[in-house]
Chain A
Amino acid sequence: MKQDSKKRARSFVSNQTVAILSILIFLIAVGASAFRRDAPAKEIKISAIARDSVASVKAFETVYKVLMSPRCMNCHPAGDVPLQGDDSHLHAMGPKRGLDGKGVYAMKCSNCHQETNTPGLHTPPGNPDWHLPPAAMKMVFQGKSAHELARQLVDKKQNGDKDMQKLIEHADDGLVLAGWNPGEGRTLPPVTHAEFKKAWITWIKNGAYAPKKTSN
């Protein structure tokens, strides 16, 4: 009995020592990390994504409405000419996409589209980076069903090599934001940017599920 209680006492002391040492190591590590200048940005890992197909698909309804609105779809045409106006007609003058999506010869986007919106009704809207997707990855929205578009958006071979983190960040891309600053005479997307961003992130964080294929 005496030997057993001594053993327990020794083992208790040993556990205490281990616990104190662990706490000390933890505190030193936390202290040291506070002085790191190159601390890596938090990344969203696939394991951190909740898998909820219902919430994801529901959120994509809002995302799809926005992406198919003229402010987004007009620069994601099925052909090589951008679309224009609230009725998404072919862009006047028929400017071509070009290899880099920035037009060709004397018909480059930035020849007319300035860094900011030009004042006046239906004048060229502006952005420093105005362009279509490049010819090698056209990222077409026009004519896509919700199922097709959702699948395309998460396919790195079709979405500009964007992983989940980059997709989330893309909600604040300058050209995406330009959709909510379209210039005079153009309607806004159907929800605010904040509502869109919330739906976009909800869709992605719940698994980026594609809605079911429609029968038509």
Chain B
Amino acid sequence: MAKITLSINKKEFPMEADPQMPLLWAIRDLTGLKGTKYGCGVAQCGACVVHLDGEAVRSCVTKVSRAVGKQVVTIEGLSQANDHPVQRAWQEIDVPQCGYCHSGQIMSAAVLLRENPNPTDQDIDYGMAGNICRCGTYLRIRKAIHAAADMQKKTATKG
């Protein structure tokens, strides 16, 4: 165990944790942020995706030690009022069915749209292939990402 501080959603969280422990345990159990989900535990499903210095890492295999000194963003911190274009598009299109995988889906989609504001269907497939949805909402996910891209463009034009 070691005394460490993690920066999650722009807040500092001092904690005692094993630096080898998965970041997901620190997020869920030590800070109480339960939006990030445990799916497979071996980086195969994407349910646990969070942003680590802007990259969509899988927190189930990312050690706490890797997150020290970096900015962690979870689904709770993606936007101030759940109004990130991806979140708005998800609500508008009513993407989730059971919803378990969708915090990971949204966090991955946010990285995709940041790096490619105008993705094609193929870009979406390439960027989202690591996020599994057992309910099979892939078509709605793709539709929502296109919608979020449009919203993002409109916001940028207004700004």
List residues of A whose CB falls within 8 A of some B CB: 92-96, 104-108, 110-112, 114-115, 118, 120, 122-124
Contact = CB atoms under 8 A, between A and B. Distances in A.
B24 interface: no
Contact of A95 (B112, B123, B130): B130
Place the interface of chain B in its size category: 20 to 34
B99 to A, nearest CB: 19
A112 B61 contact: yes
Chain B contact surface mostly: mixed
B102 interface: no
Contacts of A123: 42-43, 61
Contact of B129 (A94, A111, A115, A120): A94
A123 B55 CA distance: 20
B55 A114 contact: no
Contact of A118 (B43, B56, B107): B43
B129 A95 contact: yes
A62 to B, nearest CB: 34
Contacts of B107: 106
Contact of A93 (B56, B109, B130): B130
16 contacts: A93-B129, A95-B129, A95-B130, A104-B115, A105-B116, A105-B123, A106-B109, A106-B112, A106-B131, A107-B129, A108-B55, A110-B57, A112-B43, A114-B61, A118-B61, A123-B43
Nearest to B45: A93
Given A110-B55, A111-B56, A111-B57, A105 B126 contact: yes
Interface in B47-81: 49, 55-58, 61-63, 66
B129 A114 contact: no
A108 B111 CA distance: 11
B82 interface: no
Given A111-B56, A124-B61, A118 B116 contact: no
A104 B44 contact: no
Interface string B21-38: 000000000000000000
Contacts of B112: 105-106
A124 B42 contact: yes
Nearest to B132: A93
A110 B111 CA distance: 14
A104 B128 CA distance: 10
Nearest to B22: A118
A131 B55 CA distance: 16
